[in-house]
Amino acid sequence: MNKLLEVRNLSLTFSDDDNPVLKNVNLEVKNGQKVGLVGESGSGKTTLGLSISRLLPSKSKILGGEIFFNDSNILKLSEKDFNNLRGNEISIIFQDPMNSLNPLMKIGNQVIEIITKNLKIDKKSAKNLVLSTFESIGLKDPEYVYNSYRHQISGGMCQRILISMAIICKPKFLIADEPTTALDVTIQKQIIEILNKLSKENNMSLLFISHDLAIINNISDYIYVIYKGVIVEHGKKENIMFKCKHPYTKQLINSIPKMENKGKKLSVSNRLEINNLDYKEYLCPFRSFCPNKIDYCYKQMPDELEIENEHYVRCFNY
């Protein structure tokens, strides 16, 4: 499989005197691959997604690193060239579907905008394309939805609309930032199915971001685990789910409710917020909470180690 997206040594900060939000992040997505990015909230997942789509707030500052999409450096492209990529080849779905739709514009008009920009077709066939996409994604009454406003439809429908919007121009790469977090469980499952199906049918690569490893497990081929801006472990889904090495990943996996543990207490990690100065140095971010920490953890950042084929970990214990 060919590389589609490659993030190399990306570091990013929101304010110079604060700890960087992303530290030396490396990430790779191949053609047609479904990559999951998991980590607790505040770990920098959204920031990473936004930097790939170049939608970072203006006060953010990239300290170093490159992002390649199809061998062109995204961070160096002109606004105009990148606009051609965005929407057409790279698309994104945000966490909160309700806030992603403009309250004062009809749904249909919002979806059609992306078509008129990227595909050269007339209004009538654009509308038909929207209606058929709505239908294919499981929206019951497409014509009604087309003419509605945001407040007239449910959260699940909203997210389906956003997915339609994201995939209507058949992008090669879709970033889904917690697309199911705001939805209830049955709808979550349907959305995951839709994304799986779309990825397969259109050979679309996916970067699926979530704080929930159980959901990530349902959708990805490859998993990255991020903690406080550092990728602590990554590997093929099976390697992460069954043979994870990093103490942080182990905690994440233990916190998934399982049938055989029914009735037992969930393992919840108890952590005090450590002061900011502590992160400032380039060290393993998990060291203060780690059950297996060693002296070395306080001296330098461990290098990424290839444990086995398609399985890497950043930890001095290995």
Partner 1 sequence: MKKYLKNFNFTCGLIIVITLFLMCIISLFYIPYNYTEMNYEDILQSPSIKHIFGTDNFGRDIFSRIMQGSKTTFLISFFSVLISSTIGIFLGSFMGYYGGIIDKVFSKFIDVLMAFPSILFALVIISVLGSNITNTIIVLGILSVPRFARLTRSSFIQGKNLDYVKLAKIKGVSNFRIIFVHMLPNFKMPLIINASFSFALNVLSEAGLSYLGLGIQPPEPSWGRMLKESQNYLQQAPWYVFFTGFIIFILALGFNLLGDGINDILEEK
Ligand X SMILES: Nc1ncnc2c1ncn2[C@@H]1O[C@H](COP(=O)(O)OP(=O)(O)O)[C@@H](O)[C@H]1O
Which residues bind to Mg ion, rule: CB under 5 A?
46
The footprint of partner 1 (CB under 8 A) covers 53, 55, 57-58, 83-84, 86-88, 91-92, 94, 96, 99-105, 110, 113-114, 117-118, 162, 165
| Token code pair at residue 6 | 């490659």
102 binds, among Mg ion, ligand X, partner 1, none (CB under 5 to 8 A by kind): partner 1
Distance (Å, whole) CA 206 – CA 195:
9
Q: In the stretch 18-37, what mask flags binding to ligand X with x, by CB under 6 A?
A: ---x----------------
Q: What is the DSSP letter of 300?
A: S
10 Å Cβ neighbour count for 294? Answer: 12
Minimum distance from residue 184 beta carbon to ligand X (Å): 21
| Token code pair at residue 129 | 């394309």
Q: Rg of the chain over CA atoms, in angstroms?
A: 20
Distance (Å, whole) CA 92 – CA 16:
28
Measured from the CB atom, is 41 or 154 closer to ligand X? 41
271 burial class (0-12, 13-18, 19+ CB within 10 angstroms)? Answer: exposed
**Does position 160 bind ligand X by CB under 6 A?**
no
Q: Using alpha carbons, select from 122, 131, 61, 133 the residue that is nearest to residue 91.
A: 133
Residue nearest to ligand X (CB): 46
In the block, residue with structure tokens 């005197």: 17
Measured from the CB atom, is 4 or 223 closer to partner 1? 4
Question: 37 to 56, contacts with ligand X by CB under 6 A?
Answer: 39, 41-47
92 binds, among partner 1, Mg ion, ligand X, none (CB under 5 to 8 A by kind): partner 1
99 binds, among partner 1, Mg ion, ligand X, none (CB under 5 to 8 A by kind): partner 1
**Does position 285 bind ligand X by CB under 6 A?**
no
* Cα-to-chain-centroid distance, residue 216: 10
Minimum distance from residue 53 beta carbon to Mg ion (Å): 14
Minimum distance from residue 212 beta carbon to ligand X (Å): 12
User: Angle at the Cα of 118 (from 200 to 207), degrees rounded to 5?
Assistant: 35
Q: Using alpha carbons, select from 261, 249, 257, 256 the residue that is nearest to residue 292.
A: 249
Minimum distance from residue 64 beta carbon to ligand X (Å): 17
Given the rule CB under 6 A, which residues bind ligand X? Answer: 14, 21, 39, 41-47, 57
